Amino acid sequence: MKAFFTKLVGLLVLFYALLWILQCYVDFRLKETYDGVYTDWNLLFQGKINSTMIFLGNSRAEAHFDPDLITAKTGIASYNLGFAGATLAVEQMRWKSYLAHNKPPKIVVQNIDLYAFSEKKIPNKAQFLPYYSEPEVFQKLQELDATTKLEKYIPMSKYRGFQSEIWKSLCWNSGSNYRGKKRKGYLVHQASWNSDFDNFKKTLHGKSVAYSPDAFKKGWQELDQIIADCKAIHAKLILVWTPSYAELNALEEPSFSQMKELIQKKVTQNQDVVFWDFSKQPFNGNKAYFYNSFHMNSKGVQVFDTQFSDSLNVYLKKITP
């Protein structure tokens, strides 16, 4: 019987070790690829971004700030760190990791909207899986997902439900080729207006979008942390409410207006923080500039980024001694 248990324990240890080896290999391969959601993360962790200005936020940041266009008009090297589904809490993983591996930026542009302040589940958890060894990622993941702590010590458990990532790690070519659709983190959308907003309105049944009084409590705490971080690195922080479709803005009242008032109040209490509100531009009611109510297409981005660049140039002239 003793010999049986000895063999059993040995087999279990061997199986555990093999799973660790497989997990390390999958992690390594995904960290080496420059495709899909891992491109920006890998450039960030390798310390290859180091931009004077960075853009933070959710998909509205990712889709609304074109670094090439803005750099051409301002002369400031920039990079878009926005990613889909990120609230201010989730975004901290990318922001803190950037600070840990790259030179501090001089200007931080933070996308602001009601979604950013809300509490949501982790978006596309697969994008974080190879980086559990990064403390800035793992610490925040534990706060947002209680299962993360166990996943760190049970090999391959974090990839359950993400078998496609394992397959990708075996098939993708590693190397320095950037074959993704992004350009310095900016995701180009050429699409015309789609049916997303009409479908969304149907779910409301004629009502407005309702938010509870405590819906944004966590978001304010996270914004305070970003403000503190920018102070610590002596970076200018620009809070930007980028354009969204006018009818959506109306559906989000009164929270839409109340949030902007609170942001402005926060700004008056913090030096080196400004708030630029582009939510009510003349073209916001024109579907030709949007592909859904929350995101502009490339035509809208061209107009907005020109406005943003002009505002930035004026702002920098004012603060330059």
CATH code of residue 48: 3.40.50.1110
Residue 10 lies in a domain: no
Q: For the whole prediction, is pTM greater than 0.75?
A: yes
Residue 7 lies in a domain: no
Report which of 160, 122, 138, 130 is spatially closest to residue 41, judged by C-alpha positions: 130
Residue 149 lies in a domain: yes
Residue 14 lies in a domain: no
- Whole-number pLDDT of residue 33: 82
pLDDT values of the chain reduced to their tens digit, one per residue, 321 residues: 777 677 777 788 888 889 999 999 999 999 988 777 899 999 999 999 999 999 999 999 999 999 999 999 999 999 999 999 999 999 999 999 999 999 999 999 999 999 999 988 888 899 999 999 999 999 999 998 988 988 988 999 999 988 888 887 777 554 444 445 789 999 999 999 999 999 999 999 889 898 887 889 999 999 999 999 999 999 999 999 999 999 999 999 999 999 999 999 999 999 889 999 999 899 999 999 999 999 999 999 999 999 999 999 999 998 765
> What is the total count of domains within the chain?
1
* Structural domain that includes position 76: 21-319
Residue 88 lies in a domain: yes
Residue 11 lies in a domain: no
Report which of 157, 174, 302 is spatially closest to residue 243, judged by C-alpha positions: 302
Contact 94, 81 (CB under 8 A): yes
Contact 293, 248 (CB under 8 A): yes
Residue 3 lies in a domain: no
Does residue 105 have a cis peptide bond before it, meaning omega lies within 30 degrees of 0?
no
- Tokens of residue 303, six digits: 């107009």
Residue 125 lies in a domain: yes
Question: Is beta strand 290-292 parallel, antiparallel or unpaired with respect to 295-296?
Answer: antiparallel
Determine the Cα angle at 81 with ends 87 and 181, to 5°.
110
DSSP state of 125: G
